[in-house]
Amino acid sequence: MNRHIRKTAEVLLPKRIFVTIQSIRSRNYQKQLHREWGVYESTVEMMARYGHTVLDGPFRGMKYPISSLTNRYGIPILFGTYELELHSIIEEVVTKHYDRIIDIGCAEGYYAVGLARRTGATVYAFDCEPRERHYCRQMARENGVADRVYVRDWCNIRTLKRVAVGRCLIIADCEGYEVDLFSDDVVQSLKNCDLIVELHEIKGTDVRGILLGRFKHSHNAELITFDASDIGPGVPDKWRKFARESRSPGQQWVYFTPLEST
């Protein structure tokens, strides 16, 4: 989609439809790149040797549908090196007692299903890409948590305020939509919630500065930076070049926790 057509579609189409189309196109492009890079063949080879159950990390033992793994960068997931920088935070949050966990941009369900397995919380998982919702439901069934994982298509401000009831953990990976979603009004309603938010680049917008400013009166903020050189100790040499997912250099997450005084 060239720039002119994309801009026209963005103006004419409802946001929900436009974002869904973009998500489908993005996933198709990622699949194409993975085949060009040899990721697909290496993932198939790895599954033939090790199976399709996560081998390490916070979600060790989680079963993955084969079709889901072959349609993404599956090797870091299987070796437990995916988003390695967040592992200590995940180990921290699973010790807390949340009423609900809300995963916005859940994709195939790595966090939604993984956290459902490790906690007793009800999980609301949102993704606008229909194939990803299918994979998430499938993985929830294969891991015996389908009764606690509710998969939905779109999470806007109204939806988030409705489902974020009580003490919640919110995980957001929504490709820049975090600036719109976490408005000042929404942030006030999340004062008792923990959040893990992946930050995305938006041209001409200081995403990090905006979110840190909105949360500064209600939450502590810890910034975490992606480090592609950190592969962890347990990956065999044969697979090390595929052991970390592809990300922009310096990409960050922010972990928000409520201020003690709130």
Domains of the chain: 3-258 (3.40.50.150)
Confidence at residue 176, expressed as pLDDT on a 0 to 100 scale = 83
For residue range 181-240, list pLDDT tens digits in order.
Answer: 999 999 999 999 999 999 998 888 999 999 999 999 999 999 999 998 888 777 888 888
Q: Considering only CA atoms, which of 145, 142, 149 is closest in space to residue 66?
A: 142
Confidence at residue 107, expressed as pLDDT on a 0 to 100 scale = 94
Q: Please give the angle made by the CA atoms of 20, 26 and 30, to the nearest 5 degrees.
A: 145
Confidence at residue 249, expressed as pLDDT on a 0 to 100 scale = 83
Confidence at residue 189, expressed as pLDDT on a 0 to 100 scale = 93
For residue range 164-185, list pLDDT tens digits in order.
Answer: 999 999 999 988 889 999 999 9
Q: Please give the angle made by the CA atoms of 165, 224 and 173, to the nearest 5 degrees.
A: 50
Confidence at residue 12, expressed as pLDDT on a 0 to 100 scale = 44
Q: Return d(Cα 228, Cα 133) in angstroms, integer.
A: 28
Is the pTM higher than 0.85? The answer reads yes
Residues of the chain with pLDDT under 70: 1-37, 261-262
Tell me the residue ranges of DSSP E strands in the chain.
100-104, 122-126, 149-152, 168-172, 194-198, 219-225, 252-258
Please give the span between the terminal C-alpha atoms of the chain, in angstroms, as a whole number.
47
Confidence at residue 234, expressed as pLDDT on a 0 to 100 scale = 79
Tokens of 194: 């923990």
